[in-house]
Chain A
Amino acid sequence: QQQVKQSPQSLIVQKGGISIINCAYENTAFDYFPWYQQFPGKGPALLIAIRPDVSEKKEGRFTISFNKSAKQFSLHIMDSQPGDSATYFCAATYGGATNKLIFGTGTLLAVQP
Chain B
Amino acid sequence: EAQVTQNPRYLITVTGKKLTVTCSQNMNHEYMSWYRQDPGLGLRQIYYSMNVEVTDKGDVPEGYKVSRKEKRNFPLILESPSPNQTSLYFCASSPYRINNYGYTFGSGTRLTVV
Write the residues of chain A forming the contact surface with B, with a CB cutoff of 8 angstroms.
Answer: 6, 9, 31-32, 34, 36, 41-46, 49, 51, 89, 93, 95, 97-101, 103-106
A99-B48 in contact (CB<8A): yes
B94-A99 in contact (CB<8A): yes
Q: Is the interface of B mostly helix, strand, loop or mixed?
A: strand
A103-B50 in contact (CB<8A): no
| Interfacial chain B residues near A106, Cβ < 8 Å | 42
B102-A43 in contact (CB<8A): no
| Interfacial chain A residues near B90, Cβ < 8 Å | 43-44
B42 interface neighbour in A46, A93, A97, A104, Cβ under 8 Å: A104
B50-A99 in contact (CB<8A): yes
Known pairs A43-B90, A99-B96 / 5 extra A-B pairs, C-beta < 8 Å = A89-B43, A100-B48, A101-B43, A103-B42, A105-B42
Q: Which 4 A-B pairs have the closest CB atoms?
A: A43-B105, A46-B102, A105-B42, A32-B99
B40-A44 in contact (CB<8A): no
Write the residues of chain B forming the contact surface with A, with a CB cutoff of 8 angstroms.
Answer: 4, 31, 33, 35, 40-45, 48, 50, 56, 58, 90, 92, 94, 96-99, 102-108
B88 to chain A, nearest CB (A): 10
B40-A43 in contact (CB<8A): no
A46-B103 in contact (CB<8A): yes
B40-A9 in contact (CB<8A): yes
Docked Cα-Cα span, A99 to B35, in Å, equals 13
